[in-house]
Structure 1
């Protein structure tokens, strides 16, 4: 009941914001690069103050300590779960207690899927219990499971070449890990491609840079015109073993049982807080991470760390009594793991004010020691970002890479808004991503301090520049 009360309050605030006054036309950057360099150089002292507070001062380890308490007491936060509801309730209160402006909840309709009990056992050529994790939105098997021979392939092309062999079998994809963006296509579309050739189920080699017999979960997508079949990820080790057994000419039989169920969509919330700008309050620099996670591990790495350094960025700025010219808006997204559902609904609601967004930022690739900033935008905007990153020279985090992205901010980037994300150790990230190993043990307080410092300096300076980042 208590959560319901402040949820209703949040909806009222949200509706008020959505129906607010029209936004004045934005002022994009027309200054020369020389003028921008001179302006940005004037932020050296502010940047040093933010860095010192985050890395060496009283805020040292704060984001880690906040996160560890939250993670250990709430646990994993799957879309549609009571844990996610509780997480949103806690963060709503935390942001209010932190004294941030306009703390409110924006309602979102999200999926509710539960994995249930699941198992996979190789029966032939020997008995072997396999570690698996069902994929999000997968259907379950019949109660007795599916027992069938296995066809092992390494690619969609091989599956097509061998399609006559697939009917009535369980297709196993042992695709090599190239990169997450490339290899995740097997997790996302493997069930559909296997079903097209008559398979009864699909098992996908976990999309992982490294494995210690650890299956990785994640979302998958069905097609309306293709039969739905159960699908799960298996470990890298088992995928490779099955490939070797097949190369020996052995018949392989697996029994797969999955109790997965999909329930009606439910209501959740994007959680929002701000530091209101003192000169251009209707112009926005958006800082974000996603609050939901998968139902294994603790969701510390993905994306507790990104959410909490985004909160920390506003906390650091507030601690120093700073108020930038334009509004800093923190958004903690819901249902990112199901394809950015919360973010899509936010975009649809707010895109009418798209010209007021100077920069959208998302941290969703780990909060290890940053190597720089990934950025998507015009060359003029990139030159400005390079100057801003130069303010972080004492941390030795000054590089600006291409490809700023994030599931939740890509809607804005594709529409022309500059976007930024932290560059991190992706090999380490994809070792633990979507596994039981995604716990606080993976997190490092010193590295989180540096990540928060980078995030706060970039967010504050962009929000305080006299002009918005140029779109062209």
Structure 2
């Protein structure tokens, strides 16, 4: 548009009446909210089932590392709990998986300034000799600096990788900072490192290190790998600025104990129309072993089950079956999601949704639906707006446990929680019940209840979707 054309357009717009201008720019009218959906949503704001599940699982079971006795007790507890809540077809589906367990973990700087450090082994870490490993530390301020290190330059040394992670509402900083943990140890091993320590992938400033999995590709020997608490990482970086060689003594004694049993726990709210398909929801039952896994992911299994119970107790069967799955062994590689897809992928799933981002308020929802079901998203927008939830535009179907089902073309709905506090506690010894805000938990249940009431009863056909490939 030329400058002259722009001035003319502005002159014309100035003489338009205000009502006419408002008519031109007003957004489309929101879809009406079904009164029954609104009533179910609002009643859920007083829910106590979700908190009861989180409190019970963290108190009566506690830590639930995949493939261990703690996770086995959790499955027994979960079956009993879901039956007591009135769900149908409740059962555990076992499978076997390789299991890693931690042992002793200690570290200290022995020169030039002796200091003890707080750290924890990363999942799949290799072990040091029984007497420990003492070696020079090579400091890489960022993961990119490690990438740039020449081949063989770390032989016999301990690599340190820094990576400061900022809190974000959508949790996007996790992917950016997480490379140091996800692939950093394997990269350091390929360059000859005897061990690696990284700044914890988290947003806190306390001395509680963050656990989490790492992976060593076939043909790469696992080296000792650990996460340092944020203050201890800062300490090492401050020492490096003094220009003197740093030597660390590291003791890690984790081990692989072979294949053990894990499993998924499944429960249902049966639908009235078997041909309408399954709405798949849930979270993961396992946790890391440092704490009781309240936000990761006792809250997720609680939120989804409490919402499904609201539909179960509504007095009317939903059109579609709602299947609640508490997946096993998510933290250590998503074995539960893959096993579920292998056993149930041939069944007709129409929507999949997962809660695995803590217990803070849902602030956004996103959908990936076929064209035939686009009105479902409009009704969701109207029903969720009173809870302060906005509509996003990204592709939905996020979550490690639903990923194998979503990959088969199943539609997705994401209810995104705020991540501003999540990575303060994620994978640490601080992941305990007191981190769960009951009011925010109830808002989650209300959002999930509204979503299920709409999706499980939608008259539209919800068929397969074509998904854009992620880069």
**TM-score between the two structures when normalised by the length of structure 1:** 0.86
Over residues 259-283 of structure 1, what are the superposed CA-to-partner deviations in whole Å (9 max), with x where a residue is unaligned?
1011111122210011111023561
Structure-2 residue corresponding to 1:384: 376
Preserved contact between residue 189 and residue 221 of structure 1 (Cα < 8 Å): yes
Q: Residue 159 of structure 2 is aligned with which of 171, 186, 199?
A: 171
Structure-2 residue corresponding to 1:95: 82
Structure-1 residue corresponding to 2:40: 50
CA–CA distance in structure 1, aligned partners of residues 113 and 372 of structure 2: 62
The alignment status of 1:115 with 2:111, answered yes or no, reads no
Preserved contact between residue 302 and residue 364 of structure 1 (Cα < 8 Å): yes
The alignment status of 1:84 with 2:57, answered yes or no, reads no
Preserved contact between residue 189 and residue 220 of structure 1 (Cα < 8 Å): yes
Q: Deviation of residue 160 (structure 1)?
A: 4.2
Structure-2 residue corresponding to 1:393: 385
Q: For this pair of structures, how many residues does the alignment match?
A: 429
Relative to total residues, which structure has the larger helix share, 1 or 2?
1
Structure-1 residue corresponding to 2:367: 375
Over residues 38-95 of structure 1, what are the superposed CA-to-partner deviations in whole Å (9 max), with x where a residue is unaligned?
9x74x52122221232113xxx332112311221121110011111111110110111
Over residues 168-189 of structure 1, what are the superposed CA-to-partner deviations in whole Å (9 max), with x where a residue is unaligned?
1100110232611222121011
Q: Deviation of residue 209 (structure 1)?
A: 2.2
Preserved contact between residue 154 and residue 174 of structure 1 (Cα < 8 Å): yes
Preserved contact between residue 364 and residue 406 of structure 1 (Cα < 8 Å): yes
The alignment status of 1:286 with 2:280, answered yes or no, reads yes
Preserved contact between residue 153 and residue 192 of structure 2 (Cα < 8 Å): no
Preserved contact between residue 313 and residue 459 of structure 1 (Cα < 8 Å): yes
- Assess, with a 3 A threshold, how the Cα gap between structure 1 residues 149 and 462 changes in structure 2: closer, same or farther: same
The alignment status of 1:237 with 2:231, answered yes or no, reads yes
Q: Residue 124 of structure 1 is aligned with which of 94, 100, 111?
A: 111
CA–CA distance in structure 2, aligned partners of residues 392 and 156 of structure 1: 40
Equivalences for residues 427-466 of structure 1 within 5 A: 427-466=420-459
Preserved contact between residue 119 and residue 130 of structure 1 (Cα < 8 Å): yes
Structure-1 residue corresponding to 2:355: 363
SS in 2 for 1:456: helix
> What is the root-mean-square deviation of aligned Cα atoms in Å?
2.0
Q: Residue 140 of structure 1 is aligned with which of 123, 127, 137?
A: 127
Between 403-412 and 215-224, report the one with greater CA deviation.
403-412
Equivalences for residues 404-419 of structure 1 within 5 A: 404=396, 405-419=398-412
Preserved contact between residue 156 and residue 193 of structure 1 (Cα < 8 Å): no
Preserved contact between residue 309 and residue 452 of structure 1 (Cα < 8 Å): yes
Preserved contact between residue 362 and residue 417 of structure 2 (Cα < 8 Å): yes
SS in 2 for 1:223: coil
SS in 2 for 1:407: coil
**TM-score between the two structures when normalised by the length of structure 2:** 0.87
Preserved contact between residue 61 and residue 448 of structure 1 (Cα < 8 Å): no
Structure-2 residue corresponding to 1:182: 176
What 5-or-longer segments of structure 2 have no aligned partner?
1-28, 167-172, 467-471
CA–CA distance in structure 2, aligned partners of residues 311 and 197 of structure 1: 47
Between 370-379 and 384-393, report the one with greater CA deviation.
370-379
Q: Deviation of residue 232 (structure 1)?
A: 0.7
Between 202-211 and 325-334, report the one with greater CA deviation.
202-211
Equivalences for residues 23-34 of structure 1 within 5 A: none
Preserved contact between residue 372 and residue 401 of structure 1 (Cα < 8 Å): no
Q: Deviation of residue 422 (structure 1)?
A: 2.4
Q: Deviation of residue 401 (structure 1)?
A: 4.6
- Assess, with a 3 A threshold, how the Cα gap between structure 1 residues 372 and 226 changes in structure 2: closer, same or farther: same
SS in 1 for 2:223: coil
Structure-2 residue corresponding to 1:104: 91
CA–CA distance in structure 1, aligned partners of residues 375 and 131 of structure 2: 61
Q: Residue 349 of structure 1 is aligned with which of 320, 330, 343?
A: 343
Structure-1 residue corresponding to 2:326: 332
CA–CA distance in structure 2, aligned partners of residues 317 and 104 of structure 1: 20
Structure-2 residue corresponding to 1:3: none
Larger radius of gyration: 2
Q: Residue 299 of structure 1 is aligned with which of 278, 290, 293?
A: 293
Between 191-200 and 245-254, report the one with greater CA deviation.
245-254
Structure-2 residue corresponding to 1:9: none
CA–CA distance in structure 1, aligned partners of residues 372 and 392 of structure 2: 13
Between 63-72 and 424-433, report the one with greater CA deviation.
63-72
Q: Residue 217 of structure 2 is aligned with which of 206, 215, 223?
A: 223
Over residues 231-258 of structure 1, what are the superposed CA-to-partner deviations in whole Å (9 max), with x where a residue is unaligned?
0101222222222322321211111101
Preserved contact between residue 154 and residue 176 of structure 1 (Cα < 8 Å): no
SS in 1 for 2:346: helix
- Assess, with a 3 A threshold, how the Cα gap between structure 1 residues 67 and 401 changes in structure 2: closer, same or farther: farther
Structure-1 residue corresponding to 2:170: none
